[in-house]
A = this chain, B = another copy of it.
Amino acid sequence: MTYSRELSAALKKAKARVGDRVKAAGHEGILMPSPELVKDSTHIVLKLDTGYNLGIKFEPKTQIVKLAGRKDAKPGKKPKLTPQSEGKIALLATGGTIASKVDYSTGGVSAALTSEDLIGIVPELGDIAHIDMKTLGEWMSEDLDHENWITIAKECEKRLKKDDGIVITHGTDTMHYTSAILSFMLHTPGKPVVLTGAQRSTDRGSADSAMNLITSAYTALGDIAEVGICMHAQPDDSYSFFIRGTKVRKMHSTMRNAFRPINDYPLAKVFPDGRIEPISVRPYRERGKTETKIVFDNAVELLKVYPGADPKLLTNAVNSGAKGIVIEGTGMGHVPTKARKPWVPVIKDIVSSGVPVVVETQCLYGPVNPRVYSNLRLLYQDAGAIPAADMLPETTYVKLGWVLAQEKKLPKIRDMMLTNYAGEINDRIEPDMFLY
């Protein structure tokens, strides 16, 4: 039993066992097995008569009453994990730690598991939905580029026509770059496209892959029709966040809850028992609504500015063939302006030659503002840089590559960079989004 002591005692007192019909906190339903992944769970799960699973947090005042024994409850009917359990999920494996094994000769870890191996390790997936697996690659995510993104996007485009949702297993290092570009390439997916992975290799004790896969499968069967990342929200196994693909970032190199929303709330909490608790309202699943644009021009460079940085970084980029430049500016989107090595005149020349220069903030949280300071006015009004609102550096970079593959003219590129295609721009940044 994995319930907390208080909850175990309350269930014992009520003589309620799994399969019994019970009433708890005003809800009636069949008591479901406690999720095995959660130790000392303080929740019970009821299958309501509507077929939905409801998680109820047990508190000292929560009353649990047994209404009928398991025989009388719903004789002959085997409880299903979710109402959608006849759904079909495409599981696309691309490599990464979630598909990796420890090589005990070197102690190193490398991508080795196929999607079939994954199902073998997490057999619960088969209970959630029909899983149609395909291995697209065995890549560590630091080695990916736009060609891999296009491979993944094209497979998604196919699967969105026939399956109920998509789960993509992926290395975590650049997962948020991939989630951002897929958000643009599959900009109206109509169904959930869920990226997930693992911070610990699957054959280690502290593995996070099982819960990440299970919550991702439930998300893929759910109603939030977005491209996003579904990974641990907490250091423990209590629940995952599903976070919009353009507003998510790997913020910790080792912790299981490394992926955080930036300038946004998560779309939802997803619990290992299948409950999906929406946090922000988003487009819902809709038939025949898929629209895609799978293109990318990789002649884009991403540069970070820092004190003393030489503006020849910019001219080197253009001389090397860059057709677009993204700068991680400081604060509200500054670059050296009245410095000994000023960037603004060089940017002005580059923009005049037809190459877009987009500036976002290396703070990560908060927006760029092209007006507050006189130095900002020189950069945006005078030199013609494009302020990237509150977009993440990674999102700005992939968006510029996606835009450049569609438009060559500066005014149109500017318009597209400032258009909100996939929730990448948030006009309502709330204080509690900071360090969420």
> In the docked arrangement, what's the CA distance between A403 and B108, Å?
31
Flag if B304 contacts A375 (CB, 8 Å). Answer: no
Instruction: Tell whether, in the assembled complex, residue B307 and residue A177 are in contact, meaning their CB atoms are under 8 Å apart.
Output: yes
A284 interface residue per 8 A CB criterion:
no
Complex Cα gap A193–B332 (Å): 26
Q: Please tell me if A303 contacts chain B, counting CB pairs below 8 Å.
A: yes
Residue contact B308 to A374, C-beta cutoff 8 Å: no
Would you list which residues of chain A between 142 and 194 have a CB under 8 Å from chain B?
A: 142-147, 149, 172-174, 177-178
Q: Is the CB of B330 within 8 A of A320?
A: no
Q: Check A377 against B337 for contact (C-beta < 8 Å).
A: no
Chain B residues within 8 Å of A329, by CB: 142
Q: Specify the chain B residue showing the minimal Cβ separation from A338.
A: B143
Of residues 324 through 341 on chain A, the ones whose CB sits less than 8 Å from some CB of chain B are 328-341
Instruction: Decide yes or no whether A405 CB sits under 8 A from chain B.
Output: no
- Encode A360-399 as 1/0 by CB contact (under 8 A) with B: 0101111111011111110000000000000001100100
A330 contact from B110, B173, B255, Cβ within 8 A: B173
* Closest B residue by C-beta to A378: B108
Given A254-B366, A334-B173, A374-B103, decide whether A307 and B108 contact each other with a Cβ distance below 8 A.
no
CB distance from A200 to the nearest CB of B (A): 10
- Pick the contact of A310: B312, B320, B376 (CB < 8 A): B320
- A363: contacting residue among B251, B306, B373, B431, CB under 8 A: B251
Residue of B nearest to A431 (CB): B235
A281 at the interface (CB under 8 A from B): no
> In the complex, which of the residues B108, B109, B141, B304 contacts A304, with contact meaning CB atoms closer than 8 Å?
B304
Q: Is A80 an interface residue (CB 8 A)?
A: no
Copies in the assembly, this chain: 2
- With both beta carbons as reference points, the residue of chain B lying nearest to A178 in the complex is identified as B307
Does A419 touch B at the CB level, under 8 Å?
no
Task: Kindly state whether residue A63 has any CB partner on chain B within 8 Å.
Answer: no
> Bound complex: CA of A190 vs CA of B224, how far in Å?
57
Residues on B with beta carbons closer than 8 Å to the beta carbon of A133: none
CB A243 to nearest CB in B, in angstroms, measures 14
Against B, the Cβ 8 Å flags (1 = close, 0 = not) of A197-227 are 0000000000000000000000000000000
Task: Give every chain B residue within 8 A of A146 (Cβ-Cβ).
Answer: 307-308
CB distance from A211 to the nearest CB of B (A): 17
Q: How far is the CA of A436 from the CA of B431 in the complex (A)?
A: 15
CB pair B140 A253 closer than 8 Å: no
Please judge, given known A-B contacts A254-B332, A366-B252, whether A337 and B143 are in contact too, CB under 8 Å. yes
| A309 interfacial by beta-carbon distance below 8 Å | yes
Q: How far is the CA of A364 from the CA of B173 in the complex (A)?
A: 12
Chain B hits for A106, CB < 8 A: 374, 377
Interface check A130, CB cutoff 8 A: no
Question: Provided the pairs A141-B330, A142-B330, A320-B312 are in contact, do residues A372 and B173 lie with their beta carbons within 8 angstroms?
Answer: no
Asked if B144 and A307 sit within 8 Å, CB to CB, the answer is: yes
Please state if B341 and A145 are interface contacts (CB–CB under 8 Å): yes
Min CB gap A18→B, angstroms = 33
List B contacts of A147 (CB < 8 A).
Answer: 340
Check if A143 sits within 8 Å of B377, measured CB to CB. no
What is the CB-to-nearest-CB distance from A394 to chain B, in angstroms, rounded to a whole number?
A: 7
Give the residues in chain B near A333, CB-CB below 8 Å: 253
Q: Which residue of B lies closest to A322 (CB)?
A: B310
Between A and B, 29 residue pairs with Cβ closer than 8 Å are A106-B377, A108-B373, A109-B372, A109-B374, A110-B373, A141-B330, A142-B331, A142-B336, A144-B307, A145-B339, A146-B307, A149-B307, A173-B331, A250-B330, A251-B364, A251-B435, A252-B365, A253-B363, A253-B365, A253-B367, A253-B369, A254-B332, A254-B369, A255-B431, A255-B434, A260-B435, A301-B309, A304-B328, A310-B320
Beyond A108-B371, A298-B308, 11 additional pairs, beta carbon < 8 A = A110-B374, A142-B335, A143-B338, A146-B308, A147-B340, A173-B330, A174-B307, A252-B365, A253-B367, A253-B368, A316-B316
